[in-house]
């Protein structure tokens, strides 16, 4: 089973930025934990601040991987293009958020990408990623 994690804008600063919201663990260290937890799953990781590169990556992996975890960060609320990319590929995509986006500013309550994802998980901190993989494992069966 192969899973791609795609992190969008500003998530490269995890562990540095706004720790009261996002925690103080950087994503690479968390990825190590994740790999140890799911030893039978190949987990690829990609981060970009560029909307179009996220689309490129979705195209690249979206016809062969067993699932994609997408935390589109700020693009979640503004990108029709990523929304279309998710629909265009065949791999199931799960929307992931570290924080509970619904408890923050109003413009974060609308997700343009959610309608084309199979599901959405938010608010569990970095553990949201683990839950999404758990969900995909069952989903594939």
Q: Which position among 79, 91, 129, 140 is part of the footprint of its own copies (CB under 8 A)? A: 79
Size of the site for its own copies (CB under 8 A): 62
5 binds its own copies (CB under 8 A): no
What are 39's two structure tokens? 């030893």
**67 near its own copies, rule: CB under 8 A:** no
Residues in CB range of 14: below 8 A, 6 or more apart: 22, 23, 25, 26, 27, 30, 98
DSSP symbol at 41: S
Token code pair at residue 40: 């039978």
Task: Given the residues 65, 75, 97, 129, select the one marked as catalytic.
Answer: 97
**Residue 115 engages its own copies in binding (rule: CB under 8 A):** yes
Q: Which whole-number Å values give the CA distances from 77 to 71, 87, 126, 141, in the listed order?
A: 11, 16, 20, 31
Q: Does residue 4 bind its own copies (CB under 8 A)?
A: no
39 is a site residue for its own copies (CB under 8 A): no
Q: Which stretch binds its own copies (CB under 8 A): 23-31, 38-46, 70-78?
A: 70-78
111: which 2 tokens? 């997700």
User: For residues 16 and 18, what is the distance between their CA atoms, to the nearest angstrom?
Assistant: 7
103 binds its own copies (CB under 8 A): yes
> 108 with 101: CB under 8 angstroms?
yes
Catalytic annotation present for 97: yes
Q: Which residues bind its own copies (CB under 8 A)?
A: 8-10, 12-13, 16-18, 48-53, 55-56, 59, 73-85, 87-89, 94, 100, 102-103, 107-112, 114-124, 127-128, 130-131, 134-135, 138-139
The residues assigned a catalytic role are 22, 97
């Amino acid at each position: 089973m192969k899973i791609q994690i795609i992190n969008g804008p500003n998530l490269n600063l995890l562990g540095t930025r706004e720790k009261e919201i996002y925690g103080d663990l950087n994503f690479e260290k968390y990825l190590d934990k994740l790999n140890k937890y799911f030893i039978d799953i190949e987990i690829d990781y990609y981060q970009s601040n560029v909307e179009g590169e996220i689309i490129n990556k979705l195209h690249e992996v979206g016809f062969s991987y067993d699932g994609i975890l997408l935390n589109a960060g700020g693009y979640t609320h503004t990108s029709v293009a990523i929304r279309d990319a998710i629909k265009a590929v065949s791999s199931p995509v799960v929307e992931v958020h570290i924080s509970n986006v619904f408890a923050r500013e109003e413009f974060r309550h609308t997700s343009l990408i959610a309608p084309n994802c199979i599901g959405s998980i938010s608010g569990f901190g970095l553990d949201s990623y683990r839950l999404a993989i758990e969900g995909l494992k069952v989903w594939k069966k």
